[in-house]
Amino acid sequence: MAKTDSIQTREAQQHLEAIGRQQADLTAKRATLRQQLERMQQEAALGAYPNREQLRAMAEVAVEIDVISAMLPTVDAERAAAELSLEHLRVDELRSEAERKRDQLKELESKTAELLKKLAALELVSYTGSILSSQPAPGLWLDRMTLKPATPWRSIFELVPNNPGAPENVCVPLSRRLRQEIEDLELRALELERQLEQKAVAAAPKPEKVLYRGEFVPADESAETYLARRSRQGDERSFDDRAPTHALLQSAKPVTEPAQRERPVNARDAY
């Protein structure tokens, strides 16, 4: 699964790069044609009225500029769609990699569990996976009491590092590394999904008006503008009753049928 996801992601990346090259080529060509058309117009202005061949040549360049200008929004939309598809594939790839490592961890734990049972029988102590969280590196720790090289059987609570802060002081077992890698992959996938949701919200069409207290109100109208407008209309309600917050206006449910009535915001609004 991870290999398939990687191939799909690579193909999507190549597709996006191809669209980017096309967009850059079209933009550069349009800029060149505009310069060419400007030179042709300047040359024509210096002489007599341009002949038909000159007019035809300028018209052809102008049409080509218009065609490219009409194509660029479509290419830009294709690029945005390709970027979105690639980001979704990356989320799937991260989750597939996390699932693969989760299977690896499960298989590893099934083996270490048997060893922990045997060790518990020998030492007369019920061992859990906590003893596999880390291991002091041999030769890099001192006895806390004597500050002499520590004996291997002492626990980390009885030791002090010979070189404080050095990452090699502690050996991290495979199971612990897998857990951390799984967590990192899931967090990256969640962050990408959050970014995708934000992009979707930003790209969604915004309603021009929303229904608020029986009245269609511009969706981007601030509370101050709303108050001033209602005041000019002779609204005598109290300030608290008249003033919607900007956030409330943004969250109001857009409607398409003028006959539809909104649900009261609170009990006081029902009267």
How are the residues of the chain apportioned to helix, strand and coil, as percentages rounded to the nearest 5? 65, 5, 25
d(CA 83, CA 16): 7
Q: What is the pLDDT of residue 43?
A: 82
Q: What is the pLDDT of residue 66?
A: 95
CB 162 within 8 A of CB 147: no
Q: What's the CA angle centered on 67, arms 65 and 72, to 5 degrees? A: 95
Q: What is the pLDDT of residue 113?
A: 93
Q: What is the pLDDT of residue 185?
A: 96
Compute and round to an integer the Cα radius of gyration of the chain: 34
d(CA 199, CA 244): 27
Q: What is the pLDDT of residue 67?
A: 95
Q: What is the pLDDT of residue 53?
A: 85
Q: What is the pLDDT of residue 150?
A: 87
Domain ranges of the chain: 2-93, 116-203, 209-270
CB 176 within 8 A of CB 105: no
Q: What is the pLDDT of residue 213?
A: 62
Residues in the chain: 271
Q: What is the pLDDT along the chain (271 residues), one digit of tens a residue?
A: 555 567 888 899 999 999 999 999 999 999 999 999 998 888 877 776 778 888 899 999 999 999 999 999 999 999 999 999 999 999 999 999 999 999 999 999 999 999 999 999 999 999 888 888 888 888 888 888 898 888 888 888 888 888 877 777 888 999 999 999 999 999 999 999 999 888 887 777 776 666 666 667 776 666 667 667 777 766 544 444 444 444 444 444 444 444 444 444 443 443 3
d(CA 214, CA 270): 11
Annotate 146-209 with DSSP letters as a single string. T-SBPPTTS-GGGEEESSTT-GGGEEPPHHHHHHHHHHHHHHHHHHHHHHHHHHHHHHSPPPSE
d(CA 54, CA 114): 89
Write the burial class of residue 168 (CB in 10 Å: 0-12 exposed, 13-18 middle, 19+ buried): exposed
pTM of the model: 0.61
Q: What is the pLDDT of residue 114?
A: 94
d(CA 23, CA 26): 5
Q: Where do the DSSP E strands lie in the chain?
A: 135-136, 141-143, 159-161, 170-171, 209-212, 215-218
